[in-house]
Chain A
Amino acid sequence: MYLNVQNLTKTYGAFTALDKISIGVQSHEFVCLLGPSGCGKTTLLRIIAGLTDADSGTIHLEGQSLSGLPARQRGFGIVFQSYSLFPNMTVAENIGYGLKIRAIAKNKIAARVDELLTTIKLPDVADRYPWQLSGGQQQRIALARAIAVDPRLLLLDEPLSALDAKVRAQLRTEIRDIQRTLDIPTLMVTHDQEEALSLADRIICMDHGVVEQCGTPQELYLRPATRFVADFMGTSNLIETSYIRECMPDLMAHHPVGDDDAFVACIRPEQISLHPDPQGKATIRSVTFLGNLRRVFVESPAGPLIVEAHGHVDLCEGQSVRLDINPQDCSWVANTPPSGAP
């Protein structure tokens, strides 16, 4: 691992923000720390940056320990949600500041700033002040400022959360392109699962200060490991083993070794297909039209289910239907108690 975090713990009084967390980032990799607010992801990022001290645990970068190394000697780049540009400096001064600190020659700084302004597609704003720019522009400048010094690690703390939807989508693509082009190992904190799915090479899903699951976006979505991940990443139908055994026995083929209570079946709404059948044991409760698809609420012997139906199948309320689920599409997740429960 390029960045290797082992057994990191951080408590604030009685509150445990991070509980023996271990994560890693490969060189060139884009990793997202994903989780609800209060799960400890920002604390973890700030400890890696050197802005907050951990209670215990180690952080190594390329095999070298970072403990005791102040933030200013780590050589990282960081982008905050609140832009945090220096208000007293122009755009060019902001971007060039890290280089100025490193006593780089003025003409070299100017050249680098020009190059970065082109990279972020804002070639004409060099002499403006931060408050003269829009939020999206400010965040681009903050990104340029962070990468100007060729950081060993790029840290992004919810960089898109303060922006409106359209700018957010646009900047998301740009961040991805820039990261790919420059090959900077990147760790981004976000609570937006869509952002994590579309940006990350690997997602680390956290809750209550522990890692729930770590894997590629596909793995997290299609094979969630825990009930929390299944719930947090999109919509899912979680069905207890006893119901599956009774109503959909063919799905039992992949049930992991263990107690019935230890696992629940997770079936994504788009993985269930509905077939009108007078003999079907399930009944349609309601149908919501969403344009390209319809969301169907079904009452089945296994309990209420949510189904997403594409195409032009005739479905109406009160209709009896048969459910079809490919055994491959059913994943079994650890039945950890839902968030907040003791």
Chain B
Amino acid sequence: MPPPTDGTVAQPVRPFNTDRLILALCLGIPVVGLLLFFIYPLWIVFIRSITEADGGLGIANYIEILGSKGFWRATVHSLQMGLATTAISIVCGFIIAHGLHRCSFRGKNLIRAAIVLPLLAPSLVQGLGLIFILGRNGLLNKWFDLGLDIYGFWGLLIANTFYALPQAVMIIGATLTLSDARTYEAAEVMGTRPLRQFWDLTLPNAKFGILSAAFVVFTVTITDFGNAAVIGGDYSVLATEIYSQVIGQMNFNMGAVVGILLLLPTLASYYIERMAQKRQFGGHSDSAVPYVAHFTPARDIPMAMASFLIAALTAAVIAVVVYASFVRLWPYNFDLTFKNYDITLAGGYAPLWTTILISLMAAAGGTVALFLLGVGIRRAPAAIAKIVYFMAVLPAAVPGMVLGLAYVLTFNSTATPLYLLYGTAGLIALVNFYHYHTQGYLTIMTGFRQIPTSLEEAASCLGSGMLRVVADVVTPYVMPMLAAVFFFLFMRSMVTLSAVIFLTTPKMTVAAVTIMRLDDAGLTSQAAAYSTAVMLIVTAALLAMKFILHKIGQHKSLEAKF
């Protein structure tokens, strides 16, 4: 190294500006994306919601909506549905999570597998499954002639509960695994009976997890469109209200108003949920010993039975869809056939291939964008990083319906050149990516946080420029998260309905929308067949992800050895 000549500190050999440029690109590209494809469309929704019939700005639309009976009915229904679903999902979710993490019985992997199923299917599959079991032509009505009508509150409640259950189980389960077995042993030695340990230790420590799960379930429920459209019947909720305003009455400004109003409770619930996460009891020591349950008949037998029952019902609703897709004429002729896989609706399987293409685009583009964002935000000045972080985690608070509406208002308007994107697969890939931006971002950042800063500093001191540090130090650490995010974005894009429902055109449509159209047309068995095909692809993606993560894991342990 050359000695300093004029008393200043020697400059690094690398030109400083190259790194600045790379940093600017890393941060700039994803941020421009967020501004253009998330913030700007939301702004347009807001503007349209206050645009009156004569073109002027004002709150007349809001006054009209707030004065309409239909809106209030949908709002009351949404809140009722949200609260009821949340209550049931949290109780059932806690039972399963407690069973999985705090009880000792066999077959937990079966429960885990059953609980993951709803995430692999479009959200209207629960509705379809319930129609096959409880509908007018369902098994129960056929066998017992009950005259059940499943459409409406009860059907939607059951469908939403099954749909939301996996998330409740995962969030509550995560808090249950956090605790230290030693605290339970301390309680034991102090003379605490098991039930008392549950009330004094388990429940208080799971409090914030339960709260978090409750808000997530509530948000998922009031913003879900698929099940509400399939099994809601006359029970209108806010999500279907937006749809009927926009698609039914072509009343875009009114749709925007409902969208903004739907945004309020989800924003509030999202904010509270994030606060709850931060309030998790801190100070979990590294030396914490994980809790290992020992078989206790009085606790484990009832818990196992309850867990298996709930998991079996969750799986049954989906399994019946797969089964029905092979049945000749439900519920009269149960001969097995592939007839239902011969899709008679226009387009046939074309939307399925389009969906795969869209999902690959969203997954690949999204993973790259999130990786750049991760690299950039770590090196950005604190003030900028804070703003970018806020933008990156905001999309989770925006319901898919609202984002989809925002896109249609923004990109179906000839006011800007962005119009060129309308009706393309690329735009649907974009809406899917930004819809699931937050989850992807948070996953990638867990990888970035694992990188010891000393490692990057050491590489820099050895003379690596930013590109080298990213390639040699950062990438190996975040590789598993990149793979996980890629498959997450792919799988979500395959099944999501709410965000894309407004963006599909007769020429450019996706699988989930086709399933809805098939169901609308009364071709329920074909809808089941189409759903099965989607689930097959998503399941294959899930298995591929597990395999690749396993491979990466092996690779890393090999590295550690040498």
Contact = CB atoms under 8 A, between A and B. Distances in A.
Contacts of B191: 72-73, 75, 98, 101-102, 149
Nearest to A98: B190
A28 to B, nearest CB: 21
Nearest to B289: A82
Contacts of B188: 50-51, 70-72
A244 to B, nearest CB: 46
Contact of A84 (B186, B196, B200, B205): B186
Interface in B259-308: 281-285, 287-289
B269 to A, nearest CB: 24
Interface string B350-390: 00000000000000000000000000000000000000000
A51 B185 contact: yes
A84 B189 contact: no
B212 to A, nearest CB: 16
B196 A101 contact: yes
Contact of B187 (A74, A77, A86): A86
A10 interface: no
A129 B183 contact: no
Interface in A22-51: 49-51
Interface string B194-235: 001000110011010000000000000000000000000000
Contacts of A130: 283
Given A71-B189, A78-B189, A162 B287 contact: yes
B180 A84 contact: yes
A87 B186 contact: no
Task: Assign chain B's interface to a size class.
Answer: 20 to 34
B193 A72 contact: yes
Contact of A131 (B180, B186, B283, B287): B283
B189 A82 contact: no
Contacts of B287: 81-82, 162
Interface string A54-92: 000000000000000011111111101111111111000
Contacts of A227: none
Q: Is the interface of A mostly helix, strand, loop or mixed?
A: loop
Nearest to A74: B189
B338 to A, nearest CB: 52
Given A72-B190, A76-B189, A97-B187, 8 more contacts: A87-B179, A88-B205, A97-B192, A98-B191, A102-B191, A130-B283, A131-B281, A145-B186
B551 interface: no
Nearest to A73: B191
B281 A101 contact: no
A87 B281 contact: yes
A23 B322 CA distance: 65
Contacts of A97: 187, 190, 192, 200
Given A98-B191, A102-B191, A80 B283 contact: no
A155 B285 CA distance: 21
Nearest to A99: B190
Interface string B157-195: 000000000000000000000011011011111111100
Nearest to B178: A87
B201 A145 contact: no
A227 B57 CA distance: 93
A76 B207 CA distance: 30
A80 B190 contact: no
B189 A86 contact: no
Nearest to B285: A82
Contact of A85 (B183, B185, B196): B183
Given A82-B182, A84-B182, A51 B283 contact: no
Interface string B429-449: 000000000000000000000
A273 B446 CA distance: 61
Nearest to B202: A88
A73 B194 CA distance: 12
Interface string A129-147: 1110000000000100110
8 contacts: A51-B185, A73-B191, A77-B189, A82-B285, A88-B205, A101-B192, A131-B282, A145-B190
A271 to B, nearest CB: 39
Contacts of A101: 190-192, 196
Contacts of A88: 201, 204-205, 207, 281
Nearest to A70: B188
Nearest to A85: B183
B527 to A, nearest CB: 48
Contacts of B289: 82
B205 A87 contact: yes
Contacts of A74: 189
Nearest to A75: B191
A201 B179 CA distance: 36
Contacts of A77: 189-190
A71 B285 contact: no
A75 B188 CA distance: 10
B201 A80 contact: no
Contact of B189 (A51, A81, A83): A51
A155 B207 CA distance: 31
Nearest to A88: B204
A104 to B, nearest CB: 12
A77 B189 CA distance: 6
A82 B186 contact: no
Interface in A92-106: 97-98, 101-102
Most A CB within 10 A of own CB, among B179, B189, B205, B282: B189
Interface in A259-298: none
A237 B205 CA distance: 54
Nearest to A133: B283
B183 A87 contact: yes
Nearest to B186: A84
B192 A80 contact: no
Contacts of A50: 188-189
Contact of A80 (B179, B185, B200, B281): B185
Contacts of B288: 82
Contacts of B283: 87, 130-131
Contacts of A51: 185, 188-189
Contacts of B180: 82, 84
A109 to B, nearest CB: 13
Contact of A149 (B183, B190, B207): B190
A133 to B, nearest CB: 9
A44 to B, nearest CB: 15
Contact of B201 (A72, A82, A86, A149): A86
Contacts of B190: 72, 77, 97-98, 101, 145, 149
Contacts of A102: 191
B183 A84 contact: yes
Nearest to A78: B189
Contact of B186 (A70, A78, A81, A162): A78
A155 B189 CA distance: 10
